[in-house]
Structures are given as structure tokens and as C-alpha cells.
Amino acid sequence: MNSSRQAQLLQYGRELIESELSEAQKLLHRLDHNFIQACELILATKGKVVVSGVGKSGHIGKKIAASLASTGTPSFFMHLSEALHGDLGMVNSTDTIILISYSGRANEFNFILPILKDLNVPIIAITGGKTSPLAKAANTVLDVSIEKEACPMGLAPTSSSTNTLLIGDALAIAVMRARGFNEEDFARSHPAGSLGAKLLNRVKDVMRTGERIPKIAESATVFDAMLELSRTGLGLIAVCDANNHIKGVFTDGDLRRLLLNNGTLHDPINQVMTSPGYRLPENKKAIEALKVFNDYNITAAPVVDQNDCLVGAINIHDLHQAGIS
């Protein structure tokens, strides 16, 4: 590809972005009492917020519904055409509906608007047609009108769809902030993501259990501890009494220091262990456990239940592998 063609492509891209930014800037100054009313309608909704549109408006609508749902507002997308063939049965008077259409004159509105009025469903219109049938039927209108599309032919939805996306994001985030929706709330909607791993997982969710728990009896020797350290590879073992209560801990570092100081493998473990040693509660958040490791400069710890009985073990690698860092 020659350099003039490359320069031309860059120019096309810049012109489009400049055009869309210009139209979006006008949208900023158009937020008024209608936006406030739309937010209040959503906040007062006892059921779900239903987002509906067709074509490019439908694609944007799906994103708006997803943003609302993930930020604390129960929401789903309903295709405008499918609404006329049974899906409208998903909507009732406890819901609020957001209808998206730049012209506000889609043929489907001739059928759906009277039904929504009969159901007494509040309607939020996102449209550029301020005098359209959609705008006239709505409880509040969010004006996303533009002077021109960024498409040079003025045909492909570009600036208009960007404005629609922006107003949808503004609604979702304004309502989210009004609800006091926080990081932990967000994590519950995204349990498989890194944020969910950090904020939702507790020590018991990622710890080692069963045969993977490194432990020995308090009557054992250093030799027994060495074998258990080798078997489990955690770098730490818990020294427990007959009731499974931790009396102390012993690490591979302790073993090296003992041998360097002329200790022997026959020494009783209860004489060389660290007592009582640090232990983690099983219900402690995993992200807090990581902070403990960093603050105390340790890499592993036994885990206890509410009765202070050994139930697991965990090291810093277990936390990292669970996406907690």
C-alpha cells in the first residue's frame, strides 16, 4: 500500500472521530430535567428495566441493558419486532421500558405503544425525533439528535448511534451511583472475572484441604516434619494436638536454620516449632489473606474454622493461581 493511500485512510478515521466528538459534545449540554426524570423512573422501578429497539438501535440497546444489569439495575433486552410476536408478555406494570429509535417512527411503535399505555408501563424514549410518535407517547424523552452523521453519505448510523450509546452509559452510571452500588456489588455480577476473584473469594474457597493439608502431631520429630514438608510442598506444616488444634507451625526455613545450628532430625518438633504461629480464619477474604502475607512477610499459613480447628492450608501461589494479586 502506498504512502498516500495510508495517509488518506488515517485522515478518514480522524475525520469520523472528530465529527462524532463534535456531536457528542452537543449532547453534553442537552442533559436536563428529562435525564433526571429518566433516572428517577429507573430508580423507582419495582420490576425490571426493559430495553428495546431494532436494527443498530437494537445493538446499542443490548449493550445498555447489559450495562444496567451489571451495575445494579435488573434489566434485559427485548427485540422490538419479537415484542410483537409474544415477547411483550415479559413486560408488566412493575417494569419500565426504554425504547430506542433515532427517528422515533418505526412501524412497530404503532402496535406496541398503545399496549404499553394500557399496561401503564413508564416509557423512556431515546430518540432524535423530538416530535415523533415515540416522543409524544413517552413519559420522558432523551434527545440524541445530531446535525449530521459522520458517515460521508449521511446514511450509516454513526454519530447517532454513538450519542445513543453515550446516553445509555450516562443513565446506567448515574443510577448506579445514586444506588450507592460499590465494587463488591459489581463483583457479584462478575464472579468469574478478576474483580470477582479478588472481592468474593474467601480463604476457604482457594485453600488446600484433605490429604493436601500439611500437618503432624505435636509428639512428632523434626524428621517427621521433613517428610511432611517434602510430601506436601507447601513450605509449612501445622503441628496439631489430638483435637486438631494447632499448637505451632514449622517451615522449611525453620528446618534449614535448625540444621545449620547443629540441631538434629531426632529433635522433638514441639521444642523447635514456632508457637503459636500465624493462622488464617477460613472466612477471611482471600484478598485480605494476601495482604497478611505481604505485611508479615510470610508465604503460607494454616487455616482454621470458628472453633480454631485446622481445616486447610494455603500459600501465596494458591492465591495467585486463583487470580488474586
Residue 205 corresponds to which cell in the numbers above? 474457597
- For residue 184, what is the DSSP state? H
Q: Is 79 annotated as a binding residue?
A: yes
| Residue ranges of E strands in the chain | 49-53, 75-79, 96-100, 123-127, 140-143, 215-217, 236-240, 246-251, 280-281, 300-304, 310-315
Q: Are 198 and 289 spatial neighbours (Cβ–Cβ below 8 Å)?
A: no
**What distance lies between CA 229 and its chain's CA centroid?**
38
Q: Are 305 and 203 spatial neighbours (Cβ–Cβ below 8 Å)?
A: no
Q: Are 20 and 162 spatial neighbours (Cβ–Cβ below 8 Å)?
A: yes
Residue 265 corresponds to which cell in the numbers above? 532430625
Q: Are 74 and 181 spatial neighbours (Cβ–Cβ below 8 Å)?
A: no
Q: Dihedrals φ, ψ of 217, to 5°? A: -80, 155
User: Closest Cα partner for 112 from 69, 60, 53, 66?
Assistant: 53
- 265 by Cβ neighbours in 10 Å (0-12 / 13-18 / 19+) ranks as middle
Planar angle of CA 6, 10, 14, nearest 5 degrees: 170
- 279 by Cβ neighbours in 10 Å (0-12 / 13-18 / 19+) ranks as middle
For residue 276, say if its preceding peptide bond is cis, omega within 30 degrees of 0. Answer: yes
User: Closest Cα partner for 172 from 92, 321, 72, 46?
Assistant: 72
What residues form the annotated binding site for Zn(2+)? 79
What residues form the annotated binding site? 79
